[in-house]
Amino acid sequence: MSSTTTINPANGKEIAVYKRINADVIKSKIAQAGKTFTAWKKISYTERAVFMHELANIFEKNKNDYALLITTEMGKTLEQAKKEVEKCALVCRYYADNTASILKDQNVVTEASKSYVTYQPIGVVLAVMPWNFPFYQVIRFAAPAIMAGNTGILKHASNVQGCGFALEDAFAKAGFPPGIFTNLNVESDDIKEIIEDKNIVAVTLTGSDSTGRSVASIAGQNLKKTVMELGGSDAYIILEDADLDKAAEMATLGRLQNNGQTCIAAKRFIVLEEIYDKFLKLFAQKMKAAKMGDPTAADTFYGPMARKDLREELHKQVKKTIKQGGKLILGGEIPEGDSSYYPATVIADVKPGMTGFDEELFGPVACVIKATDEADAIALANQSQFGLGSGVFTGNKERGESVARQLEAGSSFVNKLVVSDPRLPFGGVKNSGYGRELSGYGIKEFVNIKSIWID
C-alpha cells in the first residue's frame, strides 16, 4: 500500500508518514457517512448546535497545538496559524447560533391554503481541499454543511495530512457520531471513483482552476452539485488621493500574509501614474524590511513556501515576467538550503500579456502596474481571467465604493484587504469559480430548496 510523507518546509525534514487507504476502505468509509446521514438529518438544529459549540471549544482549548501542526506542515507563521484556528471556532459558533434562523421555512403567499419553501439536507458532501489554510478551508465547508444536516468526506492535500486527521479527531472529541466527518488519505487519482460513489451527492473544491475544471467535469457527468472556489489574481487599485504609506503597508501585509499563498491575497497593484514612483519606492522599502525566517519565531513576518515544487513554479513565472519586460525591484532569487523559502519580490512596470499580469503568482511576489487614470485602473483590474477578490485605496469612501462596484470580483473592499467573514458570502466569478461559501448563501448551496404546496 502506498503512503504519503509530510515535510517541514522550513527545514526540509520529514515529519510523518501516512498510509494511503485502498478502494475497499474508501467505499466502507463513504458508506458509513451515508448511513450516518440517515440519522443525522433527523436531529434538530438545537441538538446539532451543541456538538458544533463543543467543536469550537476544542479549537479554542487546543489552539496552540493545532497552530504548531499547521506551521510545521505548511510553513505559515505561528501567529497566523493561531488566528486560523480561532477563525475555525468563530465559524463553528456562527453556524451553531444562526442555522435555525437561516434555514427556517419561508412562507410564500399563493393561491394555496398554505405554501412555503423549506430547506432539507441532501446527503454526503465531498470536499477537495488545499493546503494553504489546512484547518479553516475545511471548517468553512464542514460547519455549514453539517449544521444543515449533511455529512462530510474530506480529501485533503497530501502535504497536510496531519491536519486532516487532527480535524477528524476534533469532530470525534466533540461528540459527533462516527461518519459525520471523515478524512480520506487517498491519491488524487482516486477522486473520480469517490465522486462516482452513489453516496456522494455533491462536491466542493478549493484549488487551482485546472483542478476545478477536472473535478467539475467528473461531477457534471454524474449530475452532482458543485461549488468551486478557484484561483485569483486580485487587483488592488491605489488612487492618487490615498494615504500612500498606509496603502504600502497594507499592500505588504496583503502580499506576504500566509507567505504569499492566499487565493484572495493582493497580487496585482494598479497605481495611478502621478503617484506610481512614490508608491513603488514605499512599497519596495516595506517589502524589503519584512523579515523572512523561522515561522515559529515571534519576529518573523513571513515563512517558507509550502513545497519546493511550488517555489520552482513561482520562480519560473518571475523569470518569465522579467524576460517579458517587467522590472525586478526586489528579490527574485532562490536561497540556498533544503528549505522552501522565497524572498519578498517586487516586479514593476508589469503589463497585460506578461505572466505576472495574466497568471496567478502564488507566493510572496507582487506585480506593480501603472494606470493613466481611474477608468484605466478599473479596466486593467478587470482585464483578468480571474475574479475572486479586489480592492481600492482612496481618501474618499464614496469614490472608493463607486470603484468597488465596478470591479469584476466576488468581493471588493475599500481601504482594507479582502478577508472572508462568516456573515458575508465568499466566492468568485470568471475562472475563480462559482457558487458561494459562508453566510446564508453558503449553507444553502448544499440543501434541497423545496417547495411545499397545500391546496
Catalytic residue among 73, 84, 168, 229: 229
- Residue positions counted in the chain: 455
Could you identify the residue written with the cell 496559524? 81
Residue 455 is placed in which grid cell? 391546496
* Residue 188: partners with Cβ closer than 8 Å, 6 or more residues away: none
Q: How far apart are CA 422 and CA 289, in angstroms?
A: 33
Q: How far apart are CA 221 and CA 54, in angstroms?
A: 38
Residue from 455, 447, 454 nearest 104 by CA = 447
Residue from 311, 312, 294 nearest 303 by CA = 294
Catalytic residue among 88, 92, 163, 263: 263
* Torsion angle, alpha carbons of 278, 283, 288, 294, to 10: 170
Q: Is 263 a catalytic residue?
A: yes
| Radius of gyration in angstroms for the set of CA atoms belonging to the chain, rounded to a whole number | 23
Residue 6's alpha-carbon distances to 157, 166, 297, 340, 416, in angstroms, are 10, 14, 21, 14, 35
Per residue, the 3-state secondary structure of 193-212, as one string, reads HHHHCCCEEEEEEECCHHHH
Note every long-range contact of 76-84, with CB atoms under 8 Å and residues 24 or more positions apart, other chains counting: 76/132, 76/258, 76/259, 76/261, 76/295, 76/303, 77/259, 77/295, 77/296, 77/300, 77/301, 77/302, 77/303, 78/295, 78/296, 78/297, 78/298, 79/298, 80/257, 80/258, 84/133, 84/135, 84/136
Tell me the residue type at 248.
A
Residue from 400, 365, 333 nearest 267 by CA = 365
* Torsion angle, alpha carbons of 443, 447, 448, 450, to 10: -40
CA 285 to chain centre: 29
Point out the residues that are catalytic: 229, 263
